[in-house]
């Protein structure tokens, strides 16, 4: 079979199965079964498929995923995150679009401690959105920042998806985690600027918000020290332990997860019920991610056995295109894919093609990894399959329509696309910090 | 609710609870290991291995629970745009494909266990044990997936009949 036909068969089946609503993990399993019979020699290939299914997730580099997710879930279910948001709210006053700014700042803080974009979006959405709508914020201004900052959570460590990308693409996980910090912060700052400027220019967007609690002095700063500072300490411990080489990413993640539980206990916020909810939420989120890997893991192998991966890679590499053009092409593919499939599938489908190209063309894998992350972040926010759009819709009041949600997120999608372009042109935005820290 | 129903629900939710608790326990173990090592007390290299082996157990056990609670990631855009009748047909087809995949995982999961036992493969790291132990969660979880897919299909056709 020619490699073109092999690719057509494998991807044709995969997209058909996904489109008719087969859960993606099972779509991969089904395609792999056919692929194993056609390309891997039938019975022996199917045995290999079963062995791979187990081997793919018996992998120390994947163990940070549940722990990073657990950190966010604990703060969410014990209510500690809520206290932190209230503390931040006390500090931000007399700013146009105040609560929207609070959402971005609180989301940035929270993302430094949560490895789950869904937890961040759900938390801010259920907490701040009803309040903003009640005070007369335009739904567009109320919802957009919450989804946008949820996406940024993916860039700011800890981040479960970053771990997965590093593991699957063979990029240093610690360096990739650090590399997301600067682009993430820059995006947060840009969001705040955009909110303030648009609230000033279009007066109907946000009410003149004088409803803040009038406290001053110690009463104003105390909550920050009590509820936000410890979170930063945990962040420092997790990142510091990794950078200093005291702990592997897995160990740092486990430390962070245990530390959040300890902090919650110190606030007397820890209950068995809350802890169990956090653990169940963690099992659900990491289970869905890891089970897709189980299903998809043989897919890459079949792609290379069928000659499909190689054929396409050498076709692209042989065109004499500049590395920049190839990278731009890959980003375009990712952005398109991101509209329709989830982040884990995006990685599993494209990495078998992309990483060999990155190698052949001498592209910096760390830089490429950050670009990949931003494309996935865009995928979280772009209709029709943006996960965070549905997360927000799930916690929003019933009168909010999906179309309103789509419209609200659009400006922030443009910002992220702009960041993608900026990092393509100025790679040090992504690579300077990790290179300096891991010298 | 019949007692069989109750038992099944308990079993599926139990799978979710075990996965959840396992993640928590391993987080504590790994933390202990880091702390002990850095204070210079002792080194517990088996903990790294345990944490590695816990991932497949948690994943395969949580899979049927996630299916039961409809939490597996799926692309719904096309199905939700179709007329109700057609969408239901597609759901049935999707369940059938999931069932076939799960059956294959059960069958080949058992085959690799039998194979590995016959050869007598061992995992030799800090912990030494027969390799087939690692494979057990795969057919076990897949068998529960088979049951869950059959249950979904039965429910759908019963729903259609009434």
Q: Please tell me the predicted confidence (pLDDT) of residue A211.
A: 65
User: For B48-77, what is the mean pLDDT?
Assistant: 90
CB of A110 within 8 A of CB of A371? no
CB of A374 within 8 A of CB of A155? yes
Q: How far is B139 from A39, CA to CA, in rounded Å? A: 24
pLDDT category at A209 given cuts 50, 70, 90 is low
Rounded to 5 degrees, what are φ and ψ at B123? -95, 120
Q: Please tell me the predicted confidence (pLDDT) of residue A320.
A: 84
pLDDT exceeds 80 at position A213: no
* Maximum alpha-carbon separation in chain B: 68
pLDDT exceeds 70 at position A215: yes
* Mutation target among B20, B71, B77, B134 for the A interface, most CBs of A within 10 A: B20
Q: Please tell me the predicted confidence (pLDDT) of residue A439.
A: 74
* Mutation target among B30, B49, B102 for the A interface, most CBs of A within 10 A: B30
CB of A142 within 8 A of CB of A407? no
pLDDT category at A305 given cuts 50, 70, 90 is confident
User: For A174-189, what is the mean pLDDT?
Assistant: 95
User: For A21-36, what is the mean pLDDT?
Assistant: 92
Q: Which residue of A has its CA nearest to B32?
A: A255
Residues in chain A: 439
Residues in chain A with CB shorter than 8 Å from the CB of B112 are: 47, 50-51
Among residues A304, A431, A348, A32, which one has the least CA distance to residue A164?
A: A348
pLDDT exceeds 70 at position A216: yes
Residues in chain B with CB shorter than 8 Å from the CB of A246 are: 34, 38
pLDDT digits (tens, 9 = 90+) for B95-113: 999 999 999 999 999 999 9
Listed by number, the residues of chain A in 321-380 with a beta carbon closer than 8 Å to a beta carbon of chain B are 340-342, 344-345
Listed by number, the residues of chain A in 171-230 with a beta carbon closer than 8 Å to a beta carbon of chain B are none
Q: Is the pTM above the cut of 0.80? A: yes
Most confidently modeled of A233-237, B10-14, B122-126? B10-14
Q: How far is A287 from B120, CA to CA, in rounded Å? A: 31
Q: Kindly state whether A22 is in contact with chain B, defined as any CB-CB distance less than 8 angstroms.
A: yes
Q: Inter-chain contact A257–B21, Cβ cutoff 8 Å? A: no
pLDDT exceeds 60 at position B26: yes
Q: Which one has a higher pLDDT value, B76 or A312?
A: A312
Question: Would you tell me the crossing angle of helices A365-381 and A343-360 to the nearest 10 degrees?
Answer: 150
Closest CB from B30, B74, B109 relative to A250: B30
Residue with token string 């970053």: A162
Q: Inter-chain contact A254–B26, Cβ cutoff 8 Å? A: yes
Q: Which residue of B has its CA nearest to A291?
A: B59
pLDDT category at B132 given cuts 50, 70, 90 is very high
User: For B49-73, what is the mean pLDDT?
Assistant: 92
pLDDT digits (tens, 9 = 90+) for A38-77: 998 889 889 999 999 999 899 888 889 999 999 988 988 8
Rounded to the nearest angstrom, the minimum Cα separation between B161 and chain A is 23
Q: Inter-chain contact B71–A292, Cβ cutoff 8 Å? A: no
User: For A309-333, what is the mean pLDDT?
Assistant: 90
Q: Which one has a higher pLDDT value, B11 or A85?
A: B11
Q: Please tell me the predicted confidence (pLDDT) of residue B160.
A: 59
Among residues A87, A83, A125, A104, which one has the least CA distance to residue A199?
A: A104
Q: What is the DSSP string of A344-363?
A: HHHHHHHHHHHHHHHHHTT-
pLDDT digits (tens, 9 = 90+) for A239-288: 888 888 888 889 999 999 999 999 999 999 999 999 999 999 999 989 99
Q: Inter-chain contact A283–B19, Cβ cutoff 8 Å? A: yes
Q: Please tell me the predicted confidence (pLDDT) of residue B162.
A: 47
CB of A269 within 8 A of CB of A78? yes
Q: Which residue of A has its CA nearest to B106?
A: A50
Distant-in-sequence, close-in-space partners of A188: CB < 8 Å, separation ≥ 6 = A104, A105, A107, A108, A149, A152
Residue A50 pairs with which residues in a beta bridge?
Answer: none
Closest CB from A26, A70, A345 relative to B27: A70
Burial of A146 (0-12, 13-18, 19+ CB in 10 A): buried
Q: Kindly state whether B12 is in contact with chain A, defined as any CB-CB distance less than 8 angstroms.
A: no
pLDDT category at A176 given cuts 50, 70, 90 is very high
User: For B34-54, what is the mean pLDDT?
Assistant: 84
Q: How far is A382 from A380, CA to CA, in rounded Å? A: 6
Q: How far is A10 from A309, CA to CA, in rounded Å? A: 11
pLDDT exceeds 90 at position B123: no
Residues in chain B with CB shorter than 8 Å from the CB of A250 are: 30, 48, 51
Listed by number, the residues of chain B in 79-138 with a beta carbon closer than 8 Å to a beta carbon of chain A are 79, 90-91, 93-94, 97-98, 100-102, 104-105, 108-109, 111-112, 115, 134-135, 137-138
Rounded to the nearest angstrom, the minimum Cα separation between A163 and chain B is 15
Rounded to the nearest angstrom, the minimum Cα separation between A259 and chain B is 9
Q: Inter-chain contact A287–B58, Cβ cutoff 8 Å? A: yes
Residues in chain A with CB shorter than 8 Å from the CB of B91 are: 21
Listed by number, the residues of chain A in 262-301 with a beta carbon closer than 8 Å to a beta carbon of chain B are 275-276, 279-280, 282-284, 286-288, 290-292, 294-295
Q: Inter-chain contact B75–A19, Cβ cutoff 8 Å? A: yes
Listed by number, the residues of chain A in 81-120 with a beta carbon closer than 8 Å to a beta carbon of chain B are none
Query: In this complex, how many residue pairs, one in chain A and one in chain B, have their CB atoms less than 8 Å apart?
Result: 192
Q: Please tell me the predicted confidence (pLDDT) of residue B1.
A: 63
| Listed range (A164-173, A219-228, A415-424) with the worst mean pLDDT | A219-228
User: For A177-185, what is the mean pLDDT?
Assistant: 95
Report the percentage of chain A scoring pLDDT > 70.
99
Rounded to the nearest angstrom, the minimum Cα separation between B1 and chain A is 25
pLDDT category at A212 given cuts 50, 70, 90 is low
Q: Inter-chain contact B33–A63, Cβ cutoff 8 Å? A: no
Q: Inter-chain contact B72–A288, Cβ cutoff 8 Å? A: yes
pLDDT digits (tens, 9 = 90+) for A110-134: 888 887 788 788 888 888 898 899 8
pLDDT category at A328 given cuts 50, 70, 90 is very high
Q: Mean pLDDT of all residues in chain A? A: 90
Buried b or exposed e, range B76-108, using 16+ CB within 10 angstroms:
eeebeeeeeeebeebbeebbebbbbbbebbbeb
Residues in chain A with CB shorter than 8 Å from the CB of B78 are: 19-21
Q: Inter-chain contact B27–A22, Cβ cutoff 8 Å? A: no
pLDDT digits (tens, 9 = 90+) for A4-25: 999 999 999 999 998 898 998 9
* Mutation target among B101, B104, B126 for the A interface, most CBs of A within 10 A: B101
pLDDT exceeds 80 at position B42: no
């Amino acid at each position: 079979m020619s490699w073109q036909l092999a690719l057509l068969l494998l991807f044709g089946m995969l997209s058909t199965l996904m489109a008719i609503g087969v859960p993606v993990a099972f779509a991969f399993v089904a395609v792999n079964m056919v692929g194993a019979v056609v390309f891997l020699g039938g019975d022996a290939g199917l045995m290999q498929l079963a062995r791979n299914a187990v081997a793919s997730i018996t992998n120390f580099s994947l163990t940070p995923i549940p722990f990073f997710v657990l950190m966010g879930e604990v703060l969410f279910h014990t209510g500690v995150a809520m206290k932190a948001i209230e503390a931040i709210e006390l500090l931000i006053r007399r700013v146009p679009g105040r609560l929207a700014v609070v959402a971005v700042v609180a989301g940035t803080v929270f993302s430094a401690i949560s490895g789950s974009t869904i937890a961040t979006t759900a938390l801010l959405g259920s907490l701040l959105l009803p309040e903003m709508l009640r005070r007369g914020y335009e739904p567009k201004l109320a919802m957009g920042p919450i989804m946008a900052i949820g996406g940024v959570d993916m860039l700011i460590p800890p981040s479960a998806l970053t771990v997965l990308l590093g593991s699957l693409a063979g990029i240093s996980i610690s360096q990739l985690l650090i590399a997301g910090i600067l682009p993430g912060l820059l995006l947060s700052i840009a969001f705040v600027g955009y909110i303030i400027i648009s609230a000033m220019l279009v007066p109907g967007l946000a009410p003149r918000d004088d409803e803040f609690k009038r406290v001053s002095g110690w009463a104003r700063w105390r909550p920050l020290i009590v509820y936000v500072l410890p979170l930063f300490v945990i962040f420092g411990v997790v990142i510091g332990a990794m950078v200093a080489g005291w702990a592997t990413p897995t160990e740092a993640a486990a430390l962070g997860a245990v530390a959040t539980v300890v902090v919650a206990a110190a606030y007397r916020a820890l209950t068995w019920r809350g802890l169990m909810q956090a653990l169940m939420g963690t099992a659900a989120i990491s289970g869905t991610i890891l089970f897709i890997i189980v299903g998809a893991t043989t897919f890459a192998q079949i792609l290379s056995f069928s000659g499909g991966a190689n054929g396409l890679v050498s076709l692209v590499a042989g065109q004499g295109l500049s590395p920049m053009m190839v990278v731009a092409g890959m980003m375009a593919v990712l952005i398109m894919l991101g509209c329709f499939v989830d982040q884990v599938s995006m990685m599993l489908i494209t990495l078998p093609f992309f990483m060999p190209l990155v190698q052949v063309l001498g592209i910096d894998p760390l830089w490429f990894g950050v670009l990949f992350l931003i494309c996935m972040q865009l995928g979280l926010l772009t209709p029709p399959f943006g996960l965070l759009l549905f997360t927000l819709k799930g916690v929003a009041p019933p009168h909010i329509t999906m179309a309103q949600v789509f419209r609200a997120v659009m400006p922030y999608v443009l910002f992220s696309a702009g960041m993608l372009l900026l990092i393509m042109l100025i790679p040090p935005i992504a690579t300077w910090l990790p290179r300096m820290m891991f010298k | 609710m019949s007692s069989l129903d109750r038992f099944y629900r308990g079993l599926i939710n139990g799978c979710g609870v075990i996965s959840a608790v396992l993640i928590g326990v391993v987080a504590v173990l790994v933390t202990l290991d880091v702390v002990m090592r850095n204070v210079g007390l002792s080194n517990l290299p088996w903990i790294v291995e345990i944490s590695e082996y816990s991932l497949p157990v948690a994943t395969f056990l949580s899979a049927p629970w996630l299916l039961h609670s409809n939490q597996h990631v799926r692309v719904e855009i096309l199905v939700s745009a179709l007329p109700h009748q057609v969408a239901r047909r597609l759901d049935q087809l999707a369940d059938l494909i999931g069932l076939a995949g799960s059956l294959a995982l059960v069958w080949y999961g058992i085959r690799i266990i039998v194979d590995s036992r016959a050869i007598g493969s061992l995992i030799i790291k800090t912990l030494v044990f027969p390799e087939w132990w690692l494979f057990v969660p795969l057919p076990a979880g897949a068998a529960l997936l088979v049951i869950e897919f059959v249950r979904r299909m039965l429910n759908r056709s019963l729903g259609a009949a009434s």
